[in-house]
Homo-oligomer: A and B are copies of this chain.
Amino acid sequence: MTTEDELKKVIADADDAINREDFGRLMELYADDATLVVMPGRTVQGKEQIRSAMARIAEFFNHTLEVSQREMLVLEGGDTALVIARTVVNANQNTDSPYFAERKATYVFRRFPDGRWRCVIDNSYGTELLSQQR
């Protein structure tokens, strides 16, 4: 498998784990000290915090969250990969106002000594974080 195929598989596994709320499996795909951007201005670090943030997000969307990726682009250097992805977030929230968002995400992965890629920085907001800061 190429690096790109390996990373696409890890990300597809992560999306599937999020959509099924299988947070145990999801946490295997993150490094111990990974960072997640929960929303612009709010980051959490470490598996325990990422896991509870994911659980709160699932709750917020009334357990109807569905994440997926459209195109993905992989840049690799120094056992590190930057994945740029068009991420789609859907949730019907069991209400009359379904939620839909498409974002250009930036995910950073590192290849660990065991050969596996794990996410070290999960920022689905990509460079939008800058505009928010202004």
Contact = CB atoms under 8 A, between A and B. Distances in A.
A130 B77 CA distance: 19
A126 B123 contact: no
A112 B57 CA distance: 34
Contacts of A81: 121
A39 interface: no
A106 B78 contact: no
Interface string A67-108: 000010101111011101110000000000000000011101
* Chain A binding surface SS class: strand
Copies per assembly? 2
Contacts of A76: 35, 121
B82 A123 contact: yes
4 pairs of A and B residues whose beta carbons are closest in the complex? A104-B127, A78-B120, A35-B77, A77-B120
Interface of A: 31-35, 37, 43, 45, 71, 73, 75-78, 80-82, 84-86, 104-106, 108, 110, 118, 120-121, 123, 126-127, 129-130, 133-134
